Amino acid sequence: MQQKKVHVFVRRLRSDRFLYLAIGLYLLISVLCLAGTRQWQEASYGVYFIPWTNAFLVVMPLLAIAIDICMICLRFPRRRSLAYKRVFSADRIHAFAAGLLLLAAMMIFQGAFTSMKNLLPDFGGGFVDDVVQADIDHWLHFGLDPWRYLYAVAKAEWVLHVVEWSYNVLWFVICFGALFFVATSPKADGIRLRYFLMYMFVWVGLGNVVAGLFLSAGPAFYGFVTGDMGRFAEQLRFLATSTDADSASAYQAYLWQIHVADRAGIGGGISAFPSVHVALIMMNAMFVNEYSRTLGRIAFAYTAFIMMSSVYLAWHYAIDGYVSVALVFLGHHALHFSMSERSACGTAMQVIKPQVA
């Protein structure tokens, strides 16, 4: 019996081997880049240890167990012992443990991403594309910077508080809660590999590669990198009125401080184009839409809200969100088609082999 349990756990680890390989390769590339630039002070591998451990290895597991117990109590008032055996079966526990191990590896991935993001200005010669991207925004939106449209209808203190809470708190709960669920629940086995590949595509493909090719700092830092302190001054003055602990203005000040000091920090690194914030919520909306069209419409509506919020809070130009949505849409369907084709080929070979034999 014990041997069978070990086999279940090992089988799940083997199914994740490509993900571990990808994380290891990305870690190696980030270390080589740090060595090549000799910017070791930008290394961010350890900055996520405490918050990531607390969130993914303590709080979320306890919350998931509590939710399972509550669901059993509500749905199975008479056959709870059987429900407990099913929910806390050996397969479920080993899936949970394998998921936690993968999430521990993802902590290293996140540190590698931040390390690479910190190096982008060194690779690209600084933030050279802000003026062009802001001007494209201006042209696309009929001669006005898009934040002016938003402020014309929603420049209010209470709106700012709601937008900041959604962007800085709710977004994290949704995106990283979804990551935890896919990593640990057998119910997500059908999308597990595809989800993690898309997750890596968003962070590395958009957040490192595309960001590095078209490096910009964003409206919040436009004056610092272009010398034009007036273009977004009115917007930044309004954002500075927020006294919330999770205010955009306070976090932007923190990011610029660690950037000029050339040191690592949680969430460190500055790049606006494209928006990973928008890309990650769009990615989750695409998967939700596969499960339910009704929930998908809600998820896409929230994606649009996050995209507008990124402009409202001066994190991004509008085109940062537009491009993120387009790239995630294309990447999602391309990966889905590719994996479906491979699965179909594998099924066909299984049918052909017995006939040949």
91-102 mean pLDDT: 86
Q: What is the pLDDT of residue 77?
A: 64
154-166 mean pLDDT: 96
| Residue 37 tokens, joined | 């630039």
Within 8 A by CB and 6+ apart from 164, the residues are: 242, 244, 246, 247, 248, 313
Q: Is 269 exposed, middle or buried (0-12, 13-18, 19+ CB in 10 A)?
A: buried
CA atoms of 230 and 169, how far apart (whole Å): 30
Domains of the chain by residue range: 2-356
- Residue 316: helix, strand or coil by DSSP? coil
Stated pTM of the model: 0.91
Q: What is the pLDDT of residue 357?
A: 47
140-156 mean pLDDT: 96
Percent over 70 (pLDDT), the chain? 89
Mean pLDDT of the chain: 89
64-72 mean pLDDT: 78
| Residue 198 tokens, joined | 């898309």
Phi, psi of 170 (to 5 degrees): -60, -40
Task: List the end-to-end C-alpha distance of the chain, in Å, as a whole number.
Answer: 34
Task: Read off the pLDDT of residues 83-93 as tens digits, 9 standing for 90 and up.
Answer: 566 666 777 78
Task: Read off the pLDDT of residues 289-327 as tens digits, 9 standing for 90 and up.
Answer: 999 999 999 999 999 999 999 999 999 999 999 999 999
Task: Read off the pLDDT of residues 14-64 as tens digits, 9 standing for 90 and up.
Answer: 889 999 999 999 999 999 999 998 888 988 999 999 999 999 999 998 888
Residue 6 clears pLDDT 60, i.e. is over it: no
Task: Read off the pLDDT of residues 256-288 as tens digits, 9 standing for 90 and up.
Answer: 999 998 888 888 899 999 999 999 999 999 999
Task: Read off the pLDDT of residues 319-357 as tens digits, 9 standing for 90 and up.
Answer: 999 999 999 999 999 998 888 777 655 555 554 555 544
The confidence band for 1, taking pLDDT boundaries of 50, 70 and 90, is very low
CA atoms of 129 and 147, how far apart (whole Å): 19
Q: What is the pLDDT of residue 173?
A: 95
Residue 5 clears pLDDT 60, i.e. is over it: no
Percent over 90 (pLDDT), the chain? 69
C-alpha angle with apex 53: 52 to 58, nearest 5 degrees? 120
Task: Read off the pLDDT of residues 213-238 as tens digits, 9 standing for 90 and up.
Answer: 999 999 999 999 999 999 999 999 99
Q: What is the pLDDT of residue 39?
A: 86
85-107 mean pLDDT: 83
